Amino acid sequence: MVKMKTSIQLGKIIEIPIRLHISFLLILPLFAYAFATMNMPSGEWMQSHTFGLMNTPIGFGSMEDSLIRYISGTIITFVLFSCVLLHELGHSYVAKKYGIGIKSITLIIFGGISSMEEIPSDPKIESKVAVAGPSVSLAIGLSFYFAYRMLEFFALDIIRISVGMLAFYNFILCGFNLLPAFPMDGGRLLRSWLAKRMAYVDATNKAVSIGKTFALIMGMFGLFYGGFWFILIAFFIYIGASEEKKATEVTVALRGVKVRDIMTTDVKAVKPDMSISELVDLMFKEKHMGYPVAEDKIIGIVTFNDIRQIPPEKRDSIYVANIMTSEVISVHPDDDAIMALKLLSKHDIGRLIVMEDGIMVGIVSRADLVRSLELLGQLKL
């Protein structure tokens, strides 16, 4: 299956692949443009909220030379997104320290996403991982702020404005991420705080509804005061909250469940030279929708989906070897069921082969997982 590539890999830092989402490429020129043209002093709003600590323009709009403005705007955009990357690396570094694998860091439209292989279910660890990112942003913001204060009276305008902007936007990055709503870091902090007081699922549900309420208020605010960004962010938070709820429910339901518990064991392999019509008969007889293909060892997998496209009159002259998928992804019976689920969705396939000491001992399908999820759901009610 061909999947649309939505991100580009830039490189690796501390063994973590750093990716750029395509939405990011759209947002780069927008940011560069905004930085080049904005001339609002942060002071007007900031002074009443930060005791007058900062009074710097948050764009290069006051500079006369437009070429310099656009070059500076572009440079600041890149530096700022490096700061976003450092924020994400902060999360990743702490997660790694607690043995949580990081698949990748992706820079997207609103910032960054660190894909952890699992969400830490220990509230103490989750809060440490969550707080690491905003702490990095705060530290960067403070460093630029002190630099700004020192440069205030004797640096060139352009340097002073740049340093001030970087301080300002890193503070914003810190504050924005601390909003108490998923998928922000603040949502995770809220959940871990709640999870010390109640069951993990309940804590998630509560954090999700707080996040959704927050998003609604934010959306209303945007609607009445004409803030397009508020509406967009509110929407983003609302979706993020719902997704977190789903992901947590599945993770919690499958906790402690092993592949061994849910796999189908009476699986026979079929030969690659079996004709499709024979295979169809076998599927209907045994009511299995997929079979491993083996000669001496497993060489592929063939499923009902593969045979559907073949017209009945051709089923005698086409063989399993012609239509099977030769990329076989296997799991161990002692692997977690949640890992099997992740592999299925990552590769967008329907079944995995369960191998133990080089021998196939079963097969685990999406259907097996869904069935056990339903079962577990019923047991918990």
CB of 90 to Zn ion, least distance (A): 8
DSSP conformation class of 335: S
CB of 91 to Zn ion, least distance (A): 6
Which CB, 13 or 282, lies closer to Zn ion? 13
How far apart, in whole angstroms, are the C-alpha atoms of residue 368 and residue 329?
Answer: 16
Site stretch for Zn ion (CB under 5 A), options 70-78, 180-188, 224-232, 238-246: 180-188
Indicate left, alpha or beta for 357 from its phi (over 0: left) and psi (-120 to 50: alpha). Answer: left
309 burial via Cβ count (<10 Å: 0-12, 13-18, 19+): exposed
**Residue 126 engages Zn ion in binding (rule: CB under 5 A):** no
Residues annotated as part of the active site: 88
**Residue 177 engages Zn ion in binding (rule: CB under 5 A):** yes
Q: Please tell me whether residue 112 adopts helix, strand or coil conformation.
A: strand
Which CB, 130 or 147, lies closer to Zn ion? 130
CB of 185 to Zn ion, least distance (A): 4
Structure tokens that stand for 302 in this block? 């063939």
Provide DSSP, 279-296: HHHHHHHHT-SEEEEESS
Which CB, 126 or 185, lies closer to Zn ion? 185
Which CB, 125 or 337, lies closer to Zn ion? 125
- Position 342: which residue type? K
CB of 124 to Zn ion, least distance (A): 18
CB of 251 to Zn ion, least distance (A): 20
Site stretch for Zn ion (CB under 5 A), options 138-146, 183-191, 309-317, 365-373: 183-191
**Residue 59 engages Zn ion in binding (rule: CB under 5 A):** no
Indicate left, alpha or beta for 301 from its phi (over 0: left) and psi (-120 to 50: alpha). Answer: beta
Q: Which of residues 237-256 bind Zn ion (CB under 5 A)?
A: none
Site stretch for Zn ion (CB under 5 A), options 38-46, 76-84, 169-177, 290-298: 169-177
Site stretch for Zn ion (CB under 5 A), options 100-108, 125-133, 222-230, 328-336: 125-133
DSSP conformation class of 51: T
Which CB, 57 or 133, lies closer to Zn ion? 133
Give me the numbers of helices (H) and strands (E) for the chain, helices first please.
14, 9
Site stretch for Zn ion (CB under 5 A), options 100-108, 130-138, 232-240, 262-270: 130-138
Burial letters 310-338, b for 16+ CB under 10 A, else e: beeeebeebbbbebbbeebebbebebbbb
CB of 11 to Zn ion, least distance (A): 20
Q: Which of residues 185-204 bind Zn ion (CB under 5 A)?
A: 185
How far apart, in whole angstroms, are the C-alpha atoms of residue 212 and residue 4?
Answer: 30
**Residue 368 engages Zn ion in binding (rule: CB under 5 A):** no
The site for Zn ion, by CB under 5 A, has a size of 3
How far apart, in whole angstroms, are the C-alpha atoms of residue 217 and residue 42?
Answer: 24
**Residue 42 engages Zn ion in binding (rule: CB under 5 A):** no
How far apart, in whole angstroms, are the C-alpha atoms of residue 12 and residue 104?
Answer: 9
Which CB, 133 or 164, lies closer to Zn ion? 133
Which CB, 92 or 303, lies closer to Zn ion? 92
How far apart, in whole angstroms, are the C-alpha atoms of residue 69 and residue 282?
Answer: 71
CB of 132 to Zn ion, least distance (A): 8
Is the CB of residue 64 less than 8 Å from the CB of residue 79?
A: no
**Residue 133 engages Zn ion in binding (rule: CB under 5 A):** yes
Measured distance between the N- and C-terminal CA atoms of the chain, rounded to whole angstroms: 38
| Residue numbers at the binding site for Zn ion (CB under 5 A) | 133, 177, 185
